[in-house]
Structure 1
C-alpha cells in the first residue's frame, strides 16, 4: 500500500515538473496588439480528453468569432437570437448544415473529429462569418484584446509553437517558433495583415423572416 502511495506521489511530482507556462505578447507589424489569434504547441504522447465547447449566434453574428478546439470535441450550437439561423460549413475538415430555430429551441451538437480549419457561414445572413480551428493538440490558447495570453503545456510535448489568425497572410510554415526553454515571448509579425474578412452587416435590418431590430 505504501509503495503504491509513493509511486502515485512521484508520478504527480513528475507531472508538475514537466508542466510549462509561456506568457505571450503578440503584436502586428505596426506594433499593435493582435487579438483572437490562436497559438498552440505540438502534442506530446499524452493527450487531454476533449471537452464541450460552444458556438452561439448573437445579434446575427457568431460568438465567438474564432473558436479553437481539440480534435474530438463536441461543439454545441445554441441560438440566442429571436430569429432563425441556417449555419453551414463546406470545409474539408467538417462539412455540415444546421437549421437553428430561435432562442427556446434546444441547441444542436456536432463532433469535430478531424484537424483543420472549419469556416462557418449562415444561409440566411450572408455577412455572418466564423471559424472553428480544430487542433491535434490539447495545448492551445487565444490572445485577448491586449494581444496577451498564457499557454500551459506539457514539457513532453513538441517544442514548436504555431500561430494562426484569419488576417495573417504569411504561409503557415512562417508562423512557427521554438519554445524550448522560454517562459515569455514577444512575437511581432513582420508582414502586414490582410483586411478583416468579415463582411459588414447591412445598415438596414429587415423585419420578418431572418431579420429583427435589436
Structure 2
C-alpha cells in the first residue's frame, strides 16, 4: 500500500471527524433502540482472500463455553479442553459440522475438531443442557468481533473488499439487511427489529 494512499485515507478520516486507523475498516452495530451489540461476528468478502488458518480454542469453564462465540476460517482446527473439575459431553448436530466429544476433567488431554465447511455450528452439552455456544466458520480470513461499544475493526485487505456481513444469534433482522457494500472505512448497521432472547440467561439456574 503506497504512502500516498495511506496519507489520503488518514485525511479522509479526519475530515469526517471519525476515529480511524489507516489500513482498517471499522464497523459498528446498533440495536433497534440504539444500544451497541457486542460479540457479533463481522467479516469481509475480500477481492483477494488469503489463508490464515490457525489453531483456536473452545474451553469449558464453570459449565460455560468460553468463548460464547468463536469465529474461525474454514480449515481451522479447534481444541476442546475441559478446564472444569467435572465431565462434559459436547456435541453439535449442525450441518456445517456434526460431532460429539466426551471430555473428562484433565489438563493434559485436549480433543480437537477440524472445521472444514462454512456455516454456523451450534454447541451443546448432553450433561448440562443449558450450555450453549457457537463456532462461526467463515470462508474469509478477514473477520473480527464487536466490542462493548458494538465496534469491530478489521484489517483492510490489500486488494480491497466487496462486502461486509454480520451475524449474532440474537439478531432477528432479515438476512438481506445484514450485508453491505464496502464503500467507506466506517460502516454502520442499525438493526430494525428487537433482538431475540438471550438463551444463556433463560437457562441459568439449572443444575
Q: TM-score, normalised by structure 2?
A: 0.85
Q: Where does structure 2 lack aligned partners over 5 or more consecutive residues?
A: 7-21
Q: Is the 8 A contact 2:74 2:137 kept in 1?
A: yes
Paired residues for 1:23-38 under 5 Å: 23-38=26-41
Q: Where does structure 1 lack aligned partners over 5 or more consecutive residues?
A: 1-11, 206-214
Q: Is the 8 A contact 2:173 2:192 kept in 1?
A: no
Q: Is the 8 A contact 1:43 1:136 kept in 2?
A: no
Aligned to 1:88: 91
Between the aligned partners of 2:26 and 2:169, the Cα distance in structure 1 is 22
1:141 aligns with 2:157: no
Aligned to 1:189: 191
Cα shift at 1:51: 0.5
Aligned to 1:8: none
Aligned to 2:182: 179
1:167 aligns with 2:170: yes
2:80 corresponds, among 53, 77, 85, to: 77
Q: TM-score, normalised by structure 1?
A: 0.82
Paired residues for 1:94-173 under 5 Å: 94-173=97-176
Between the aligned partners of 2:26 and 2:205, the Cα distance in structure 1 is 39
Between the aligned partners of 1:28 and 1:171, the Cα distance in structure 2 is 14
1:62 corresponds, among 44, 59, 65, to: 65
Would you identify which runs of 4 or more consecutive aligned residues in structure 1 move more than 3 Å?
43-46
Cα shift at 1:42: 1.0
RMSD: 2.0
Q: Is the 8 A contact 2:42 2:166 kept in 1?
A: yes
Between the aligned partners of 1:134 and 1:176, the Cα distance in structure 2 is 17
Q: 1:187 to 1:171 in 2, by over 3 A?
A: closer
Q: Aligned residues, how many?
A: 190
Cα shift at 1:123: 0.3
Q: Is the 8 A contact 1:41 1:157 kept in 2?
A: no
1:49 aligns with 2:81: no
Please tell me whether Structure 1 or Structure 2 has the larger radius of gyration of its CA atoms: 1
